Amino acid sequence: MTSSEVDLPVVAFEPGRWGDPGAPMHLSESVLGALTMLGIDGGPGPGAELFLMPSRVSGRALSALQKTGAAVAADDATRLAHLRGYSTPDLLKYRAGDTSDAPDVVVTPSTAEQVGEVLAVCAAKDLTLSPFAGGTSVTGGLAPERARPVVALDLRALTGLIALDAVSQVATLAAGTRLPEAERLLAEQGYELGHFPQSYEGATVGGCAVTRSAGQSSIGYGRFDEMVVGLTVATPQGVAEIGTAPKSAAGPDLRQLFLGSEGAFGVVTAVRVRVHPVPTVRRFYGWHFADFASGAYAMRVLAQGSVRPTVLRLSDEVETALNLADPSAAGEAAAGGVMMIVGFEGDERDVDCRDGYVSARLAELGGRFLGEGPGEAWRVGRFRGPYLRDPLLDAGALVETLETVTFWSNVERLKADVTAAITGALGDQGTPAVVMCHISHVYPTGASLYFTVIAKALEDPLAQWLRAKEAANTAIRAAGASITHHHAVGTDHRSTYLEEIGEVQLAALRAVKAALDPRGVLNPGILLP
Amino acid sequence: MTSSEVDLPVVAFEPGRWGDPGAPMHLSESVLGALTMLGIDGGPGPGAELFLMPSRVSGRALSALQKTGAAVAADDATRLAHLRGYSTPDLLKYRAGDTSDAPDVVVTPSTAEQVGEVLAVCAAKDLTLSPFAGGTSVTGGLAPERARPVVALDLRALTGLIALDAVSQVATLAAGTRLPEAERLLAEQGYELGHFPQSYEGATVGGCAVTRSAGQSSIGYGRFDEMVVGLTVATPQGVAEIGTAPKSAAGPDLRQLFLGSEGAFGVVTAVRVRVHPVPTVRRFYGWHFADFASGAYAMRVLAQGSVRPTVLRLSDEVETALNLADPSAAGEAAAGGVMMIVGFEGDERDVDCRDGYVSARLAELGGRFLGEGPGEAWRVGRFRGPYLRDPLLDAGALVETLETVTFWSNVERLKADVTAAITGALGDQGTPAVVMCHISHVYPTGASLYFTVIAKALEDPLAQWLRAKEAANTAIRAAGASITHHHAVGTDHRSTYLEEIGEVQLAALRAVKAALDPRGVLNPGILLP
C-alpha cells in the first residue's frame, strides 16, 4: 500500500468545527503576517452558548419511529451533532448560538428496509425527513424547511462493502459508508475507489452520489456521478433499483435523475460504483507556468487529448504565492508564476507511458518541471486546507470558498467576473479581500473554478459574506456558468439554480417530486422550493 | 483529409430498403454457398402492392398546420417515405404491403420556432406528433399508436452547423443534420464529430441524441449521450435549454432525462456536442485471438486501463469465419479463432504513444498482429453490413440483428443464453439458425453484445422472427442485462423495458410525460405505454 489516504481514520467531526478533532491545524507565522496585511488583528471572542428549542415530535410519533427498529434520539447533543453542515455561514451561525435548524429527532436505521419504514411513519405522522450522512454539506443541504417537524435520518449505520464484482470492477457499498472506510474495505480486496474530495475524511458514498461530488482524481477516475453504475433508492412509493448496465439506450438514464437529487426524491441506501485495482505506482509532480492563462491552456490541451494524467490542478498566481496549506513550500512561487500539480496512478508501465507523453507536452507548452517535491507536498496535505478555516475565523478573518464550472472559452471571463464581484462586494463594505482561485477538474469542453476568499471579518460576518456570495452568484449566472461544479444546490444555491434550469426543467423536476413523494416528506426546500 | 466518411454523400434511403440506392450490395458466391447450407434456396417473390388508407387529418387541421409556415404534405409518396424504419419486421411489413403505420400527414418545419407552433396546433386539433429525422430506427420508434391522427414531423430541414466554439471544442448542430453533413460542415473548420454508428449515412444528430446512439469509435470519443453537452428541446410547455456546463452538481443532470427520451417529452431541435480536430493519423489493425473468451479478456484489460485505442471491436468465431461483409478477407479466420479490430486516431505522437502501449499489451495477452490490412478492410466497409440484409431477404433468408449490454462478469453467460434462446426458438420452427456476435462497445465495467441471426425464412417470416426476438428478450431480462445498448426502446422493446426499470422509475417517467405533454401529443406508445 502506498496510499496514505487508506491510513486516515474514520473520524467524527465535531459540531461547528471541520475535520478530525485530534488533528487541528494552527496558523503559521507567515499566514498570521498575511492576516495583518488585511487588517485582521483579533478574533471575535468565544461563541455564544447553545440552547435548543424542544423537539416538536410527539411521543406517539417517536414511538412509531422506534417501532421501525431504527435507533431514535431526541437529546440535545444528538440533535446538535446533526445541525447543518460546514459552510462558513453554518460555522458562523453555530458561533452565534443559532440552533434554529436543528432537527427535532435523529433516527438511525441499521437496515435499508428500516429506511422505507421510517419514510412511511413520516408520511403518516406528518413529519419531514432529511437524510444525513457525512454531514459535510457546504450549501445548506442539511437545513430543510421546518414548517413541519424534521427527522434527521442518520445513514452512517448503513455501512460496509455489500458486494465486489472484481471482474467488472464494480463495488456495492452501503450509502452511509464513509470514504476512508470504503477504501479500507476495498483495499483488503486489492481495490480502490479513488474518490478524494476535500471532504474525504467525513463524506459518505451516498452523500457523494446525491451531491455529484468530484474528487481530486476526477480526470483519472471520473466524477462520482460518472463512477456510479447503480443506485438503490428508498422512495415513499417503494424501492427503486436503478442502473442495469454500464451504459444503455433503454430510455433516459435515470441514475442521472437521482444523482444530484439531494434527497428530494428518495433516500439512496446503496451505491454500485466503479473501482480499480490499488495503484502500485503513484507519482505527483509540480510544474511551474508563467501565468494562469498559460497553465490553463496546457490543461486544456491535455484534457482535449487522449492521454491524460490521474490528477491535474492549477493554482492561480495568488493561490500559488499564498499556498495557505503549506506556506513553507511556497518558495518556488515567490518568484512569480503559477503551480500545477500533475499526478499519475496505475501500474508502472501505464504510468510510464502517460507520464512520458504528458510531461513532454507540458514542457513544450511552457511548463518548468519542479519534480516530485511539490507534488508530494500537495498530495500529503490534500485534505488539510479546510482545517485552516476555523483558526482563521478564530483569528478574526472571514474566509469561505465557492466554485463554478463553464466551457473553456468562458473560463477567463468567469474567473475575472467572479473575482471582481467578490472583491467589489467586500471592498464596498470596507474589507478588501484576497481572492485566489484554482482549476481542479477539467473536461474536454471546460473546467471548474474554485475560489477561496479571505477578508477581515466585520461585526456581522454572516451578513458581510452573504453580500459577497450574492454578488458572486449574480456574476456566475451572468456569465452563463453553472452555480456549482461539485458542492450541490442545497438551500444556498436554490434560487440561482432555478434561474439556471428554467421553467420547463423545473416542471419536470416538480413532477418527479410529486409522483415519488406526494406528501412532501423528503427534504422540503432542499434543491426545489 | 484522410476520412473516407466525410466523402460519403448525404443520401435519401428508399422506403423499404436500407441505404444509398446508388450503391446496392450483392451477395457473393461464398455467402450464397452458406445460404445453401442453411437450406435457403429461393426468394419469397415480389412484394405486395402498397395502398394507403386516406389521411385522417381534416382540412381545417391541415390549414392550421400550414399557417405555421412549415411544409405540409399528405400525398401517398411522402407518407410512404415516412413509414416506419428499417428493422427486419419493418422491411417484412413493407414487403407484405402493410402500410398501417403510415403517418396521416408529414410536416417539415424550417425553423425551431415552427416546431413549437406545430406542437401547439397538434394539441389544439387533437393530433399526435412523431418526430422523424434519419428514419433509421430499428425498434419501432417511428410507429406510434394511431388512436388519433399522426403527424410525422420531418426534421431534416433543420440542418446545419449553428455555432462552433473551437476553444471549447463544442459544436451546435441543428437536430436534423445528417451525420455525413455534420462531418462535412465541421471538416471545413478543421473539426470532426467522430460519431460513426452503422446508420451513419442516414442518421441525424437529433436522432442520435434521443436514441442514445453509440458509434464505432465509442471507446475513443464516447457514446453520443456522453458527447452531448446541451440540448434545445421544444416541448408543449415551452422551449428548454438544457446543459449549462460540461458537468455540474446543480441538481439532476436533465440532459440525461431527455437523451433517450425518443420524442416522448419534446422535440430536440438543436444539439450542442463535443467535437475534436480532424485526426491527422488513422491506424486500424487486425489482431487474431485464439477464441472469443481470450479476445474479450484482452478488451476488458484495455477498457479497464487508462491508455485506450479509438476503436475496439471483437467478432466471435462464427462472425469471424463468415465475415459476411467481406468474405474475401476471411482467409485468416478460416484457420480458427477470432478477429479484433483496433483503431487509433489523433496526431502522430498521440497515436504512437497509445499504439505502442496497446499493441504491447495485446501481444502479451495472446494476440497475434495481423497488420493494417484487415483493419483498413473493416474501416472501409464499416457501413456496408446493413446493405446485405435486403439481398438476403430477397434470397429467402430471415436475417436480423439485436444487441444488449451487461457487466463484464455477465458477458459470457449473456452471450450463451441469448444465442441459445434464438437458436432454440428458430430451431423449434424447423429453421436452424446461424447466430454470430461481436463486442463493439466496451466500458471499464462491461460491454455490449451485438448479434446477427440468419435462418431460412418461413412462409410468415415476421411471426417466425418475433418468436425468436421474444425468446432473446426473455433471455436478456433473465440475465439482468439491458434490453438495448444503442438501438433504443421504440415500441419493440417497450414491454421488456418496463420490466427492466420497474414501477418507481416508470412513475417518474410518467410524471415527466404528464407535466411536459399533458395532452399526450408526443409519440404516444413510443418508450412509454
Catalytic pick among A191, A221, A387, A450: A450
Query: Which of B287, B310, B327, B323 is CA-nearest to residue B3?
Result: B310
Predicted ipTM beyond 0.90: yes
Query: Which of B39, B19, B83, B8 is CA-nearest to residue B391?
Result: B19
Give the separation between CA A421 and CA A343, rounded to whole angstroms.
Answer: 33
Question: Sign (positive/negative) of CA torsion B345, B347, B350, B354?
Answer: positive
* C-alpha dihedral (B119, B120, B126, B127), degrees to nearest 10: -20
Q: Give the single-character DSSP code of B250.
A: S
Give the separation between CA B240 and CA B226, rounded to whole angstroms.
Answer: 19
Does residue A263 have a known ligand-binding role? yes
Does residue B135 have a known ligand-binding role? yes
CB A108 within 8 A of CB A157: yes
Cell numbers that stand for B201 in this block: 449515412
Go through chain B and tell me how many residues it has: 529
Burial of A205 from C-beta contacts in 10 A (0-12 / 13-18 / 19+): buried
- Say if the Cβ atoms of B252 and A256 lie within 8 Å: yes
- Say if the Cβ atoms of B248 and A350 lie within 8 Å: no
Edge-to-edge order in the sheet of strand B150-154: B71-73, B105-108, B150-154, B128-132
**CB < 8 Å to B251, chain A:** 260-262, 489, 497, 501, 509, 527
Query: Which of B263, B254, B209, B214 is CA-nearest to residue B235?
Result: B263
Predicted confidence at residue A327, as pLDDT, reads 46
- Say if the Cβ atoms of B497 and A265 lie within 8 Å: no
Cell numbers that stand for A232 in this block: 438503490
Using DSSP, state whether A436 is helix, strand or coil: strand
Instruction: With residue B149 as reference, give the H or E element that holds it.
Output: none
**CB < 8 Å to B516, chain A:** 504, 507-508, 511
Query: Which residue of chain A has the CA closest to B406?
Result: A245
| CATH code of domain A281-382 | 3.30.70.3450
- Chain B nearest-CA distance from A322, in A, is 28
Q: Count chain A–chain B contacts defined by CB atoms under 8 A.
A: 304
CA atoms within 13 A on the CB side of A94: 22
Query: Which of A189, A345, A204 is CA-nearest to residue A280?
Result: A345
Domain regions of chain A by residue span = 161-277, 281-382
Report the predicted TM-score, pTM, of the whole model to 2 decimal places: 0.96
Predicted confidence at residue A9, as pLDDT, reads 67
CB A148 within 8 A of CB A127: yes
Query: Which of A303, A254, A309 is CA-nearest to residue A286?
Result: A309
CB A198 within 8 A of CB A401: no
Find cell 478573518 and name the residue.
A397
Question: Helix H segments across A345-409?
Answer: 348-364, 372-380, 389-394
Go through chain A and tell me how many residues it has: 529
- Say if the Cβ atoms of B233 and A504 lie within 8 Å: yes
Predicted confidence at residue B30, as pLDDT, reads 81
Give the separation between CA B405 and CA A104, rounded to whole angstroms.
Answer: 46
Does residue B267 have a known ligand-binding role? yes
Using DSSP, state whether B91 is helix, strand or coil: helix
**CB < 8 Å to A223, chain B:** 247
Written in H, E and C, the secondary structure of A208-256 is: HHHHCCCCCCHHHHCCHHHHEEEEEEEECCEEEEECCCCCCCCCCCCHH
Does residue A222 have a known ligand-binding role? no
In chain B (529 residues long), the average pLDDT of successive 10-residue segments reads 58 88 88 88 85 96 98 97 96 96 98 98 98 95 97 98 98 98 98 97 97 97 98 98 98 98 98 98 97 98 98 96 58 73 97 97 98 95 92 96 98 98 98 97 98 97 98 98 98 97 98 98 97
Give the separation between CA A356 and CA A337, rounded to whole angstroms.
Answer: 24
Give the separation between CA A325 and CA A319, rounded to whole angstroms.
Answer: 10
Predicted confidence at residue B8, as pLDDT, reads 67
Predicted confidence at residue A42, as pLDDT, reads 84
Does residue A375 have a known ligand-binding role? no
Query: Which of B65, B268, B144, B148 is CA-nearest to residue B527?
Result: B144
How many other β-carbons are positioned within 10 Å of the β-carbon of residue B73? 18
How many other β-carbons are positioned within 10 Å of the β-carbon of residue B428? 11
Give the separation between CA A270 and CA B456, rounded to whole angstroms.
Answer: 48
CB A225 within 8 A of CB A256: yes
Exposed e or buried b per residue across A377-412, where buried means at least 16 C-beta atoms within 10 angstroms of its C-beta = bbbeebbebbbbbbbbbbbbbbbbbbbbbbbbbbbe
Predicted confidence at residue A330, as pLDDT, reads 44
> pLDDT tens across A86-129, in order?
999 999 999 999 999 999 999 999 999 999 999 999 999 999 99
Query: Which residue of chain B has the CA closest to A247?
Result: B485
How far lies B67's CA from each of A136, B60, B71, B233, in Å? 56, 11, 9, 22
**Strand-strand pairing, B150-154 and B128-132:** parallel
**Strand-strand pairing, A128-132 and A150-154:** parallel
Using DSSP, state whether B406 is helix, strand or coil: strand
∠ CA(A146), CA(A152), CA(A158), 5° rounding?
A: 160
Give the separation between CA A312 and CA A344, rounded to whole angstroms.
Answer: 9
CB A457 within 8 A of CB A393: yes
Give the separation between CA B91 and CA A413, rounded to whole angstroms.
Answer: 54
Written in H, E and C, the secondary structure of A48-89 is: CCCCCCCCCCCHHHHHHHHHCCCEEECCHHHHHCCCCCCCHH
Using DSSP, state whether A398 is helix, strand or coil: strand
- Say if the Cβ atoms of A249 and B445 lie within 8 Å: no
**CB < 8 Å to A305, chain B:** 346, 350
Predicted confidence at residue A8, as pLDDT, reads 67
Active site residue B443: no
Does residue A303 have a known ligand-binding role? no
CB A278 within 8 A of CB B282: no
Which residues fall within 8 angstroms of residue A348, CB to CB, at 6 or more apart? A280, A281
In one-letter notation, the amino acid at residue B191 is: Y
- Say if the Cβ atoms of A307 and B246 lie within 8 Å: no
Cell numbers that stand for A106 in this block: 435523529
- Say if the Cβ atoms of B508 and A503 lie within 8 Å: no
**CB < 8 Å to A445, chain B:** 168-170, 229, 246, 274
Give the separation between CA A69 and CA B266, rounded to whole angstroms.
Answer: 45
Please tell us whether the domain made up of A161-277 is placed in CATH 3.30.465.10. Answer: yes
CB B187 within 8 A of CB B280: no
Question: Sign (positive/negative) of CA torsion B379, B385, B386, B388?
Answer: positive
Cell numbers that stand for A10 in this block: 474514520
List beta partners, residue B448: B405
Question: Chain centroid to CA A16: how far?
Answer: 17
The parts of chain A modelled with pLDDT lower than 70 are: 1-9, 324-335
- Chain A nearest-CA distance from B135, in A, is 17
CB B421 within 8 A of CB B52: no
**CB < 8 Å to B406, chain A:** 245
Cell numbers that stand for A447 in this block: 473546467
The minimal CB distance from B502 to the residues A241, A356, A512 is found for A241
CB A274 within 8 A of CB A227: yes
Give the separation between CA B86 and CA B526, rounded to whole angstroms.
Answer: 16
- Say if the Cβ atoms of A213 and B512 lie within 8 Å: no
